[in-house]
Amino acid sequence: MSVALIQPLVVRTVAVSDPDDLLARLPGAAPYAWIRNGEGLVGWGEAARAMVPPGPGRFDWARGWLSSLFAGALIRDEVGMPGSGPVAFGSFTFDADAPGTVLVVPRVVLARRDGRAWLTTIGDNAFELARPPVEPGRIRYGDGTLTAPQWEHRVARAVSRIRDGGLDKVVLARDLTAVADRDIDIRVLLGRLARSYPECYTFSVDGLVGATPELLVRHTGQAVESLVLAGTTPRGSGPTDDAARAAALYASKKDRHEHACAVASVREALAPLCSTLHVPEEPELLVLPNVQHLASRVTGRLSDGASVLDVVAAMHPTAAVGGTPTGTALGLIRELEGMDRGGYSGPVGWIDAHGDGEWGIALRCAYISGRHARLFAGCGIMAGSDPAKELAEAQAKLRVMQYALEG
């Protein structure tokens, strides 16, 4: 466990004129971001940081640390919106027993939402001058933990295990390494991702950067919302091909079953926490620039004053990123992947002092460190999965971060 903070926090939030482009206001060092359709939060600097101890109680520890920190803060909030006042950005590892979960309260947060904008500062000397973003230059790629043929072989082994019985689905991840000519400026990646994938949640937390389509939970007062994605097909070569692929995805027994498993896992997690819960009977289609997903938007109202972290704790890992049943799938992931996912496919997002916040699943992302990047993608493996098609799907998902690096 590692904790660093300015104590007590002296926090002030004031209304400001619309910043138009939040990402353009970021200085160069270690930015934090959560942006969708131009709205959200960006932050920089550190007023407090905690490396959360791994283990089954990590969400309770995180909530307790934040509650203590925010309870002792001197807060002057003139805005009173979700995300005003002190805010912590966080990234939880996929595997509860893996180290690397982090919570950071930035010294400065700039936000815009529903036609309003505000600035939160903690302490003095919080501002930094923004330097122009620097392109990373040429990008060279290399194999990650497994080569493409090795990963296909692991998929085939997973299919065999599923057909033998004991589990319905397992999600296998693949990584790819990249090296740039120059240090990778995270602001360049954020700008490209936000422009190309405005419907996704573009995020940056402690070097983990990406644009995820999957909202794990939005918590506002007692209202909660989750967007479940499972079942994927690449975009077509044109409108006709696109429509044909969408129809095939919607009719696919394998993809519909995968989606039903994911929705069921979210329903089971949320039902004990909610007084009301609405789960769509049929999925809709979410069309992104690179892929199409089966999607279901689940909404409900909490029956008590649970924090967004309580909801995240109940939901993670969903079948969309782990498998079904969860325990068996996690065991097979550890056996076949041969790597530590870190924060990939773990919860990523923000929480304010009232327990409100938005958390997604860290998909379409990469870890950035200096000139180096480690990219991730994953696929839901079912009894009817074809290893070559799963590899093609993983490559389509990896192209999101490849584009962000290359432009």
Question: Which residues have a catalytic role annotated?
Answer: 169, 214
In terms of DSSP bridges, do strands 357-361 and 215-220 run parallel, antiparallel, or are they unpaired? Answer: antiparallel
Distances (CA, A) of 398 to 88, 259, 364: 28, 21, 7
- Torsion over CA of 150, 155, 161 and 167, rounded to 10 degrees? 140
DSSP H or E stretch at residue 337: helix 326-337
Task: Please give the Cα distance from 299 to 279 (Å, whole number).
Answer: 7
Helix axes 326-337, 148-163, angle to 10 degrees: 150
**Plot region of 220 (φ>0 → left; ψ -120 to 50 → alpha; else → beta):** beta
Nearest residue to 141 via CA among 174, 173, 176, 185: 176
Task: Please give the Cα distance from 316 to 56 (Å, whole number).
Answer: 11
Burial class (CB in 10 A: 0-12, 13-18, 19+), 342: buried
